[in-house]
Amino acid sequence: MDRGQGKNQRSRICLLISLSALFWFFVMVFHFEGDMIINTAAIPRNLMRRTVENRSDPCGGRYIYVHNLPPIFNEDMLKDCTTLSPWTNMCKFTVNAGLGPPLENHDTAVFSSTGWYATDQFAVDLIFLNRMKQYQCLTNDSSLAAAVFVPFYAGFDVARYLWGHSSISQRDAASVALIRWLVKRPEWRVMGGKDHFLVGGRITWDFRRLSDEESDWGNKLLLLPEGRNMTMLVVESSPWNSNDYAIPYPTYLHPRSDSDLVIWQNRMRRQRRRNLVCFAGAPRPDNPKSIREHIIRQCRKSNSCKLLECGWDSKKCHTPTRIMKMFQRSIFCLQPPGDSYTRRSAFDSILAGCIPVFFHPASAYTQYRWHLPKNYSVYSVFIPENEVRKKRVSIEGMLRGIGRERVKEMREAVINLIPGIVYADPRYKLEKTKDAFDLAVEGVIRKVRKVRRDILEGRGEEQQEFIEQLSWKYGLLDEGATLGPHEWDPFFSKPSEDSGFL
């Protein structure tokens, strides 16, 4: 009874609010007449609607227009692959459509028969573009497009200058040239670039230089006014900004068919796992905030924890076979932050059917919102890093406390995530399965659709600016919920000082 009445009252209040909102909407429209009308008229809403509503068009509402960029923004970089990184011979990793060299398969105890490559963790620029080339709904008519793809190798570009003595103008040169090219195109004017997206397969901090001091890290692609309008897909996004979205790091498996995946998933279901828990990584002695020392110490003391210790000089940690073998034989894989919040290793562990244990919500939960379930307890264990730092928790003890049935459920959930976190081999085509690329494109299209609707319905931008600092919360909200205090607030306080990895 009470509830019914409450509901009625609420809906009356809602009606009043909507009516007054409508009133203000009209007031605003007439007030800002000039701008608004020019702006919205530019959006070809009739065309878009025609493709969305056309039920006999399987691509309705999903068309992507790909800009035909001058080769200096992509192909030329591959030709000069020796310049792409001072550490790594990237030429080796740009072969096979970006998948890198095939993994020698003499150790079939670790890999299945097809689809395994020693993929570089920062190769998504290239893999993504090659996957885009076979996207089934490409169009040359940009007025039909749900989104516009900019095939710039943003990650390869910045990596050329991150180490060594480059000036900030060198580092920014390609981004500035790209934007100069883009804004002259008719496609830009439609939404000021808000329907454009690009990929930089590195962490967001490489594209967000804090100042124009020569000593500061990275370029400023994501901070340029035009860069702020576009959507950038990166392997680690900023919790405090809304123009970047996280997509998975590439793993070593690139299936050629749906059955490659099914075979692998079944194998991971049957896999015997003798270790309770494992960790592959290096300590961070220079970073007082890092919990890696604690984790390594706890692991060394335990008989049920396997450790693959990495150092600058150690190759074994970068040997896919050793890592994958250890992950496949473990029930839980520890994933503490490294130089930044996220790690490729989290995706390797999912691929191996090993339940990831996270210590910071920005290592996965606030990041890969299009690829991982919102309810993180379904597929992972969370141990707040402060508990470890203050020595209030035994990791082994805590993991032992999780019941056998629950572990089985979690592992099954992890194994079911595999198709959505791998990048399929761009030279083949999966029939039924959506891979990490497919989920990312769907996410972009949903986002652009919402922005387009907001512009058409005249929702302001001031509001979006205001909330950007709390952008990590939005992906976690339920429909209609409002921002309030959140259990993870302490993890995200004081962004600039506390992020601590620059």
Ligand X SMILES: *[C@@H]1O[C@H](CO)[C@@H](O)[C@H](O)[C@H]1NC(C)=O
Decide whether 225 or 485 has the Cβ nearer to ligand X: 225
Question: Binding mask 185-224 vs ligand X (x if CB under 6 A, - otherwise)?
Answer: ------xxxx------------------------------
* Nearer to ligand X among residue 57 and residue 216 (C-beta): 57
328 phi/psi in degrees, rounded to 5: -65, -25
Q: How far is the CB of 109 from ligand X (least distance, A)?
A: 32
Coil vs helix vs strand at 280: strand
Q: Is 57 in the site for ligand X (CB under 6 A)?
A: yes
Residues 315-334 touching ligand X, rule: CB under 6 A, are none
Q: Which residue is nearest to ligand X (CB)?
A: 192
Q: DSSP readout, 348-394?
A: HHHHTTPEEEESSGGGTTTT-TTTS-S-GGGT-EE--HHHHHTT---
For residue 36, the tally of other CB atoms under 10 A from its CB is: 15
CB 179 → ligand X: shortest distance, Å? Answer: 8
- Residue 464 as a binder of ligand X (CB under 6 A): the answer is no
Q: Which of 4, 186, 225, 484 binds ligand X (CB under 6 A)?
A: 225
What is the distance between the alpha carbons of residues 297 and 311, in angstroms, rounded to a whole number? 16
CA angle 502, 447, 137 (to 5 degrees): 115
Closest separation between CB of residue 236 and ligand X, Å?
Answer: 24
Smaller CB distance to ligand X: residue 140 or 170?
140
> How many residues bind ligand X, per CB under 6 A?
18
Residue 307 and residue 296 in contact, taking contact as beta carbons nearer than 8 Å:
yes
Q: What is the rounded end-to-end Cα distance, in angstroms, of the chain?
A: 57
By CB under 6 A, residue 226 contacts ligand X: yes
377 binds ligand X (CB under 6 A): yes
Q: Which of 139, 101, 148 has its CA nearest to residue 120?
A: 101
449 is a contact residue toward ligand X (CB under 6 A): no
Alpha carbon separation from 210 to 154, 162, 166, 263, 497 (Å, rounded): 18, 14, 16, 46, 11
Give the residue, chosen from 229, 319, 386, 469, that forms a contact with ligand X under the rule CB under 6 A: 229
117: DSSP letter: B
Q: Which of residues 89-148 bind ligand X (CB under 6 A)?
A: 138-140
CB of 150 to ligand X, least distance (A): 14
CA distance 159 to 200: 10
Angle of helix 436-456 relative to helix 404-421, nearest 10 degrees, comes to: 70
Interface residue with ligand X, options 8, 18, 266, 375 (CB under 6 A)? 375
In the shown chain, the binding pattern of residues 396 to 435 toward ligand X, with x for contact by CB under 6 A and - for none, equals ----------------------------------------
Q: Which residues of this protein are in contact with ligand X, per CB under 6 A?
A: 50, 54, 56-57, 138-140, 191-194, 225-226, 229, 375, 377-378, 455
